[in-house]
Amino acid sequence: MPATSSPTVKRRRLAAELHACRELADLTIDDVAEELEWSAAKISRIENARVRVLPRDVKHLLRIYGVQEGSPEWELMLTLARESREKGWWHAYGDSLVEGFRTYVGLEADAQTVRSYESEYVPGLLQTEDYAREVIGTGSLTASEAQVENHVAVRMARQARVAESRLPELWVVINEGALRRQVGGPAVMRAQLDRLLEEGNRPHVTLQLMPFGIGAHPGMSGAFTMLSFPEPSDPDICYVPYNSGNLFLEKPEELARVAVIFNHLRAAALSVNESRSAISRLRQEL
């Protein structure tokens, strides 16, 4: 695994490795729970990467699974356990991010490709600061001004990291309604549309517009983002946000369905050049 991998990705890799070891040892979660006098829920959370794991707990698990102490496999998983407990760059912003979104940011930090459909607003990685402030402030009605500013700072930091690394490759389909809605008023929207036109020229960004005229389409159930990673052992994941939380889809059949939906969306949307022309016309209308 690359040295630059985020702690979140390392925790996910460790979870997958421990799950594989348990299955290779032909043990159930209940078997391991009984042997270690742990709850089955604890082992399930470890294997689902929902918690950070102490290296000593990893040693207990590896001994039960028959992994030889000091072997390369043993050392790899202890290294993953230690490094997965490190704090990512986003922890410097305190509690402004809810747990689910912290997980997403950690995954995004190591993603190789991001495929996203947005129905209501411009994707966070392409927002201007003023537009982001309006979206975050309106969407977080109970947040203080300081919390809103902290969240805006995180969004700008995410953008800066992407700009520095030229990763991930970003493919975005945006519903026309998101660009017609005047978030923050005409001046903010003009600057936001200018930003989209600028970002659309970057070699690692593909931007398409889903026009009203297309009628019904597979993305009408809501926004989602699919992340892919450089390591073959790190499977894709789909992030689905909603008002009071978020979902992470990881099962192969779920990911396959979302991939089909995204392929239909990008086929139905305007081409890159047509999208650029449409965004320019929207900008002129303001």
Contacts of 192 (CB under 8 A, 6+ apart): 122, 127, 128, 130, 131, 183
The whole-number pLDDT of residue 65 equals 94
Contacts of 218 (CB under 8 A, 6+ apart): 261, 264, 265
Nearest to 192 by CA among 272, 128, 124: 128
Any idea which residue has 């995954």 for tokens?
107
For all residues of the chain together, what is the average pLDDT? 88
Which residues does the chain have with pLDDT short of 70? 1-5, 88-97, 99-100, 165-167, 244
Q: What is the per-residue pLDDT for 3?
A: 42
Nearest to 241 by CA among 100, 50, 93, 94: 100
| Residue ranges covered by each domain of the chain | 7-84, 94-285
Residue whose entry in the numeric block shows the structure tokens 């411009």: 122
- The confidence score (pLDDT) of residue 97 equals 66
Q: What's residue 91's pLDDT?
A: 64
What CATH number was assigned to the domain covering residues 94-285? 3.30.870
Which superfamily is assigned to 7-84 in CATH? lambda repressor-like DNA-binding domains (1.10.260.40)
What integer pLDDT is reported at residue 92 of this predicted model? Answer: 67
Q: Give pLDDT, residue 1.
A: 41
Q: How far apart are CA 203 and CA 105, in angstroms?
A: 23
**Tens-digit pLDDT profile for residues 161-215:** 777 766 689 999 999 999 999 999 999 999 999 999 999 998 889 999 999 999 9
The backbone torsions φ and ψ at residue 239, rounded to the nearest 5 degrees and listed phi first, read: -105, 125
